[in-house]
Amino acid sequence: MESVKSLFVAVGKLYNKSQPHYEACRALFTAAHSKLHRESTYSSYGCYAGNPVVPYHVFSLNPATVSRPVRPDIYISDPNELAIIHNEFMAVLKVPASSWTVENRVTANRIVYTAVMSVACCYDIWQRGSRKTPGTFFEFLMAGLLKMMFPTADFIKHIPLAAILHDKDVLESTAESQSQADDSENGDAAGVSTDLVIGVPNKRGGVVVPLKITTRERIVQPFAHQRILDSAFGDGVFKSLLVCISETQLDDKTKSVKQVCVPGTVKLFQKYLARVGGIYYCDVPQRYAAADMRSTINVRSIGDFFVDVSQALTDHDATQI
Amino acid sequence: MESVKSLFVAVGKLYNKSQPHYEACRALFTAAHSKLHRESTYSSYGCYAGNPVVPYHVFSLNPATVSRPVRPDIYISDPNELAIIHNEFMAVLKVPASSWTVENRVTANRIVYTAVMSVACCYDIWQRGSRKTPGTFFEFLMAGLLKMMFPTADFIKHIPLAAILHDKDVLESTAESQSQADDSENGDAAGVSTDLVIGVPNKRGGVVVPLKITTRERIVQPFAHQRILDSAFGDGVFKSLLVCISETQLDDKTKSVKQVCVPGTVKLFQKYLARVGGIYYCDVPQRYAAADMRSTINVRSIGDFFVDVSQALTDHDATQI
């Protein structure tokens, strides 16, 4: 596990210096994938009792040391197959997303899922305490891929909204409380910062990409942030695309998997708080893919996300802002 | 601890049946207060390094079993003194809040703090696992007091916003996901419900009273809910007054107390997300009482809250809505 952890630290250093970091991401998830493949058991756990039923696997060392649930039809478990599909995906990334086929989207979705789940399940099994690491890696990975797709775009990470707003009063309070030790975890910047913002040179605004492994009680955040941006800049200057992995949870008692969904909440926020441009998952929760959601919000795969973010940047470039 | 726990269950039953429950609240906090007084040590812990410095006490059994920090100048530790001041407060409650003196506000603040802290510290020491109990008791207590103050007002608790909005589409999704076991904790109703709404007969809207022991990362919720209500009904139909106990945290390493504040975030939300009518604390965080906050948001004591909520209901009654 020490080598996985040091590879994670290495990615973080490159990312924080804004240096190319995708190869380091690949080294990390390849090491994690290989460790899981060699040192754990990958086997069926149980199903999500949906329509259709969705089977899930887990990685385990013993009955008490079990990873989060994994979709075996999305996760690429064989290391050789992963290498081949990853090479295909690198070629796909060079093609304009507007001409991606359905197969290309499936490939993109499987690679992101396999990469993030490899790292997350490694930490689930061998480093339980590091709760935030999988989410941080998810951000590293997506930023790395998006930078390769859009080499001329502006990337801004973890922007405190106060800074985007250029609000002197808010900014000063933020800076001051960040400088206080007692604000370390609940600091103003951490509390109200977007994950990733992609801009177009010489244009105001851009595409905000909040990244969350699962949403849970944090689902309100991207909607609230979108509303703040709408209030400050007017509608349409910033567009949010929320990107997640899944909404799954193991149910140990029944040996089944739950997909924790709050369709009423999502509709409520989308209608009355702010409109986000879409929600994307590697493992799209069945409830969110249902027909009644479609009239309110677009919920699709991360394969579709790459196409939609490309379109959103093209649209943004064409605006007069 | 069994008697404290059964008194808590008893209050919950009355509250859920909308029966008078303040006497049961009093029995509970009196039992908790007495248990702490008899069976634990109440002594100095350390200070918040503010200007001025604020000393805090804790209840403890031994160095490893310590309660949350308590303000000895607000908490009434002597049982006889508590009984006397509580009787004074019951008399104050019968006087219209518009004529409350500064002393009356201080009394109200001390009683609420002592009651909530008694129950919270009991659970800190003897029932660590029950994380949500202190917050639930805070709601029981405030609802009990407010019902005695405003006997003719309409009280609604835990309203799913979807129901307030009468939005059929959102409502159906909410009802459906509430009926699913996998939604138990992150259910739609729990995710987007207000704590307490006080209305005036035959008037739309009212005063929303979110109650939180501390805000932490949940600070966004009351602002987001206010924005949803503004979007759906127009500004001013609902007014939110956020009521909290404190923002303190023990720092075990330095034996000091932190006041975890996010002034930049609060200003940001208040300016760009939605306006809440005020934030009230028993132990007002020093940073939020600073001059620069006042132009953005009203942060005062729970003693002041009783006066302000009374005024808000009078104002609401006089509107044409």
Distance from CA of B22 to the nearest CA of A (A): 31
pLDDT at A55 over 90: yes
Mean pLDDT score, A57-73: 96
In the 3-class helix/strand/coil scheme, how is A263-295 assigned residue by residue? HHHHHHHHHHCCCCCEEEECCCCHHHHCHHHHC
What integer best gives the mean pLDDT of chain A?
90
pLDDT at A163 over 70: no
Asked whether the beta carbons of B4 and B32 are under 8 A apart, the reply is yes
More confident residue, A12 or A233: A12
Q: What is the pLDDT of residue B164?
A: 61
Q: What is the pLDDT of residue B146?
A: 96
CB contact under 8 A, A167 and B268: yes
Which among A160, A177, A251 has the least Cβ separation from residue B261?
A177
Which among A173, A227, A264 has the least Cβ separation from residue B273?
A227
CB contact under 8 A, A262 and B231: no
pLDDT at A180 over 90: no
- Between CA B279 and CA B264 the distance in angstroms is 15
Is the interface score ipTM higher than 0.85? no
Report the greatest alpha carbon distance in chain B: 59
Q: What is the pLDDT of residue B201?
A: 85
Helix (H, G, I), strand (E, B) or coil at A61: strand
pLDDT at A159 over 80: no
Residue in B with minimal Cα distance to A290? B173
Mean pLDDT score, A80-91: 98
Backbone angles phi, psi at A53, to 5 degrees: -65, 140
- Between CA B103 and CA B92 the distance in angstroms is 10
pLDDT at A185 over 60: no
CB contact under 8 A, A228 and B272: yes
A201 pLDDT band (50/70/90 cuts)? confident
| Cα angle B54-B57-B60, degrees, rounded to a multiple of 5 | 160
CB contact under 8 A, B217 and A182: no
Which among A165, A188, A260 has the least Cβ separation from residue B186?
A260
Q: What is the pLDDT of residue A131?
A: 85
Task: Give percent of chain A with pLDDT exceeding 90.
Answer: 73
pLDDT at A177 over 70: no
Q: What is the pLDDT of residue B186?
A: 42
Q: What is the pLDDT of residue A184?
A: 38
Which among B183, B187, B220 has the least Cβ separation from residue A224?
B220
Q: What is the pLDDT of residue A165?
A: 65
A194 contact residues in B (CB cutoff 8 A): none
More confident residue, A186 or A220: A220
- Between CA B29 and CA A210 the distance in angstroms is 43
B173 contact residues in A (CB cutoff 8 A): 263-264, 267, 292
Q: What is the pLDDT of residue B171?
A: 67
Q: Phi/psi zone of residue B234: left (φ > 0), alpha (ψ -120 to 50 degrees), beta? A: left
Q: What is the pLDDT of residue B182?
A: 39
pLDDT at A168 over 80: no
In the 3-class helix/strand/coil scheme, how is chain B assigned residue by residue? CHHHHHHHHHHHHHHHCCCCCHHHHHHHHHHHHHHHHHHCEEEEEEEECCCCCEEEEEEEEECCEECCCECCCCCCCCHHHHHHHHHHHHHHHCCCHHHCCHHHHHHHHHHHHHHHHHHHHHHHHHCCCCCCHHHHHHHHHHHHHHHHHCCCCEEEECCEHHHHHCCHHHHHHHHHHHCCHHHCCCCHHHHCECCEEEECCCCCCEEECCEECCCHHHHHHHHHHHHHHHHHHCCCCEEEEEEECCCEEEECCCCEEEECCCHHHHHHHHHHCCCCCEEEECCCCHHHHCHHHHCCCCEEEHHHHHHHHHHHHHHHHHCCC
Distance from CA of B268 to the nearest CA of A (A): 6
Burial of B91: CB neighbours in 10 Å, binned 0-12, 13-18, 19+: exposed
pTM of the predicted protein model: 0.85
- Counted across chains A and B, CB pairs separated by less than 8 A come out at 159
Structure tokens that stand for B247 in this block: 């923002």
A181 pLDDT band (50/70/90 cuts)? very low
Mean pLDDT score, A125-129: 92
CB contact under 8 A, B165 and A262: no
pLDDT at A286 over 70: yes
Q: Which of A161, A58, A62 is CA-nearest to residue A117?
A: A58
User: In angstroms, what CA-CA distances link A64 with A39, A61, A136?
Assistant: 15, 8, 26
A224 contact residues in B (CB cutoff 8 A): 220, 223-224, 227, 269, 273
The DSSP H or E segment spanning A172 is: helix A168-178
B232 contact residues in A (CB cutoff 8 A): 272
B177 contact residues in A (CB cutoff 8 A): 261-264, 287
Burial of A293: CB neighbours in 10 Å, binned 0-12, 13-18, 19+: buried
Asked whether the beta carbons of B113 and B213 are under 8 A apart, the reply is no
CB contact under 8 A, B268 and A177: no
Mean pLDDT score, A41-68: 96
CB contact under 8 A, A177 and B271: no
| Cα angle A196-A198-A199, degrees, rounded to a multiple of 5 | 145
Q: What is the pLDDT of residue B234?
A: 87
Backbone angles phi, psi at A145, to 5 degrees: -65, -45
DSSP designation for A257? E
DSSP designation for A186? T
Q: What is the pLDDT of residue A178?
A: 56
More confident residue, B9 or A162: B9
Structure tokens that stand for B178 in this block: 């509430």
Q: What is the pLDDT of residue A186?
A: 41
Residue in B with minimal Cα distance to A170? B264
Low-confidence ranges of chain B (pLDDT < 70): 158-167, 171-193, 320-321
CA dihedral sign, ordered A209, A211, A214, A218: negative
Distance from CA of B34 to the nearest CA of A (A): 33
CB contact under 8 A, B188 and A262: yes
Mean pLDDT score, A50-73: 96
Residue in A with minimal Cα distance to B256? A182
CB contact under 8 A, A165 and B228: no
Q: How many other CB atoms sit within 10 Å of the CB of residue A99?
A: 8
CA dihedral sign, ordered A222, A18, A313, A146: negative
